[in-house]
Amino acid sequence: MKIVFVVFNLFLIVFIEAKIDFNIYEEDCITQLNVDREQMIEAFNQDFYPEDNQDFTNVLTCSWKKAEIIDKDENLDVDKLRQFLVDNFAKVQGSNYLIATLVAADALHHCEHVKGQSRGDIAVKMSNCILRKLDSYDV
């Protein structure tokens, strides 16, 4: 019975790890910040990102900075965020560029009100707002 349980757990870990495909910036930030990779897999694997996990917030902020979505002056570059959304939505959903552009613009418009205590807090809350909006499209 213990062997079956261990095999099941290993399968589950492999399945979860395979489900998460960190981008180059996230990978760099996980290493640079020396955070628990398994914790990040769990956080990224949720329907919505944890707003109370400082390690996750730090990784997301770091990756947005590396992608220049947050610039060196700590400003959010909405155009770069829009392009990031377009590229990822088209890739994940298999949508054409026009549909991905319209969806990204609508999601950003819907989330332009998001506020937070820091750039990291805003990044997590903005991500969750966008995820909720994308979820509403039923695609």
Which of 55, 53, 49, 45 lies closest to 15 in space, CA to CA? 45
CA 46 remoteness from chain centre: 10
What's the CATH code of the domain at 73? 1.10.238.20
> Residue 14 domain-assigned?
no
Task: Provide the number of structural domains found in the chain.
Answer: 1
Q: Report how many helices (DSSP H) and strands (DSSP E) the chain contains, helices first.
A: 7, 0
> Residue 110 domain-assigned?
yes
> Residue 17 domain-assigned?
no
Residues 6+ apart with CB under 8 A from 111: 126, 129, 130, 133
> Residue 1 domain-assigned?
no
What pLDDT sits at residue 2? 36
Interval 78-121: pLDDT, tens: 999 999 999 888 877 776 888 889 989 999 999 999 999 999 99
Task: Tell me the pTM.
Answer: 0.78
- Its domain, for residue 124, covers 22-136
> Residue 50 domain-assigned?
yes
**How many C-beta atoms lie closer than 10 Å to residue 96's C-beta?**
9
